[in-house]
Amino acid sequence: MGASKAGLGQTEKPPQGESRARLPERDRPWVMRTYAGHSTAKDSNALYRSNLEKGQTGLSVAFDLPTQTGYDPDHELSRGEVGKVGVSIAHKADMHALFDGIPLDAMNTSMTINATAAWLLALYMTVAEENGVERGSLQGTTQNDIIKEFLSRGTYAFPPEPSMRLIADTIAFTVDEVPKWNPVNICSYHLQEAGATPVQEIAYALSTAQAVLDGVRPRVPPEHFPRVFGRISFFVNAGIRFIEEHAKLRAMSALWEEFGRERYGVEDPKFLRMRYGVQVNSLGLTEAQPENNVIRIVLEALAVTMGRDARARALQLPAWNEALGLPRAWDQQWSLRIQQILAHETDLLEYADIFEGSHVMDALVEELTEGARAEMAAVADRGGAVAAVPYMKTQLVESHRARVGAVERGELKVVGKNVFTSAEPSPLQEGEDGGILTVDPDVEQGQIAAVQRWRSERDQAAVDAALGELAAAAADESSNVMPATLAAARAGATTGEWGATLRAVFGEYRAPTGVADAAPAPEDDALEELRDRVERVSEAIGRRIKILVGKPGLDGHSNGAEQIAIRARDAGMDVVYEGIRLTPVRIAATAVQEGVHVVGLSILSGSHRELIPDVLEELRAAGADVPVVVGGIIPRPDAEAMLAAGVSRVYTPKDFEVSRIMGDIVDLVAEHNGVGAHAA
């Protein structure tokens, strides 16, 4: 009978010593979010309301790439991108629809938005005001970290200096006007996705925070600055090495408190505590055996929930099928249930910090802390985070190359990908949808018609006047752009008009790629063999093989393209790589001007169905008779359609062997130029 009771969790008293270890009360659960949004505001609103009904306790809004980079749906660069990786928001009516029926004064809303953060926050405040909600009651976060956009994610809109000024203006405005809002969320998440080691993630995030604080300090009264420091939050990555990831958070928190005391003179403990949310790693999620991703997600969530002194206060988990395409509502529900089980069924929240006094943890924290100090000093020696963007970008590219190489060689084992690859078919991928959500292609045309209708029906004179005031504020360094941005939002200006107005003042910008300055690859047998093949084919065709690596559209996730470009260079090819945000016309023109032998295209945003045919058509029109290879998150039916349309090869996340891909490309060039197999 006693065994039966124990099995039911009905033991009469806790095990010896448990009462001393337990907290008087359970720690409160973290804010539970799901990163979500797609298609239209109406569609996303339905998704948000459904997620809240399932127990989600905060919102995390994903915006599409045109919204993130300051373009309207009918702009040339928006082609194929509308509603794909997030929701399309062009004006205040879209924002009203997005939050319809959701009480903004009772909601904690996180918006993953950076270059256009000031604009989206203005739209959010406008919607609150027009619904009778005081802006002072609004709680949430705008990510608003532009440095990491130059380094890893690519959704920047303006050059570094004016971008940092926009961040400072937003912080200076919100500290009093929207005091519960986190106006910036220093984001190391994407640094890890771009290859950052734990030391680099800590160092580059804290260096960015320093640049932000130094920028805002002259724009607020000195007595307000401790509150500014206290509103800085972080968005951190947690990878599969979950012990090391937990140590990273402890090291980062200690450095942040030291930073506040010693550099900025902040003394109040409530402002010194580092506040951060977490999304666990997507870099390690696999297309091969995707069901394995579930246990990866659980372990990574443990890294940021196990120890009370380093527990995240907000958490969002990716879905098991992120490497396949856009998750469905059911997939997001599964990730939410993981959080709920950890918080409500386990005993994680019942105990004091379980790592307190751990010699292993203390030593690991010290190791990471010292490494981060040294790397922060390297950034400082180069003029700080803004000036050191090229240095940091190159370091990330090289770190990512080391990781990719380790996976290729089998030194870094990834179950189902490079070890234990024999498997049963996954029932999770059965069905007509293949286990992912596909955005209706008609969404884009609907959004184009909607924004054009909005422009035709508004008070154009009021919009023109507001945009004029915005331009004047942007041109005056002593002005804060937030009041003029709010006025433009209220008047009915669009996302693209706000972005175009500031581009006219601030100028355009292309971030460094990190490829040109990357060190040569370490020598190995595979690379030597690849170089020999490149030399033979180059000699046979009369000049060195030249490859154009291009990223059409607005997708800024350039990690894969950078690794292809670097490996091609290391193999002895001539490489043309101009970075992100290229139109099909520009890609075709460059292919002709440079006389390339092959074009490689990388798209991870889902816009491949529209943009790849456009590139093929432009290449034909320009007279560029060269093979085209494509890489990205591309479902099998789409890959088959592209091959039928004339693409020579399609590579997806399962194709991790970069040297093999390079070998395929050499074969393609040889075959296309009539070179025999002996040369290749």
Active site residues: 35, 189-190, 551, 555, 557
Q: Report the chain's C-alpha Rg in angstroms.
A: 25
Looking up tokens 């045109």 gives 66
Torsion sign (Cα): 116, 603, 656, 37? positive
- Tokens of residue 572, six digits: 């002895």
One-letter amino acid for residue 24 of the chain:
P
Can you give the length of the chain in residues?
680
The Cβ-side half-sphere exposure at 480, using a 13 Å CA radius, reads 18
The Cβ-side half-sphere exposure at 440, using a 13 Å CA radius, reads 8
CA distances from 420 to 98, 297, 298, 413 (A): 44, 19, 20, 10
For residue 363, the surrounding DSSP H or E stretch is helix 359-381
Residue 636 gets the label, from left (phi > 0), alpha (psi -120 to 50) or beta, of: alpha
Looking up tokens 């203390």 gives 362
CA distances from 666 to 66, 522, 534, 545, 602 (A): 35, 21, 7, 8, 18
Residues 572 and 523 sit within 8 Å (Cβ to Cβ): no
Adjacent-strand bridge partners of 139: 108
Q: Give the span between the Cα atoms of 241 and 110, in whole angstroms.
A: 27
Q: Are strands 628-632 and 598-603 parallel, antiparallel or unpaired?
A: parallel
* Cα dihedral 166, 169, 175, 180 in deg (nearest 10): -30
Looking up tokens 């090819």 gives 573
One-letter amino acid for residue 333 of the chain:
Q
Residues 155 and 120 sit within 8 Å (Cβ to Cβ): no
Residues 73 and 17 sit within 8 Å (Cβ to Cβ): no
| Phi, psi for 633 (deg, rounded to 5) | -85, 90
Q: Give the span between the Cα atoms of 199 and 248, in whole angstroms.
A: 8
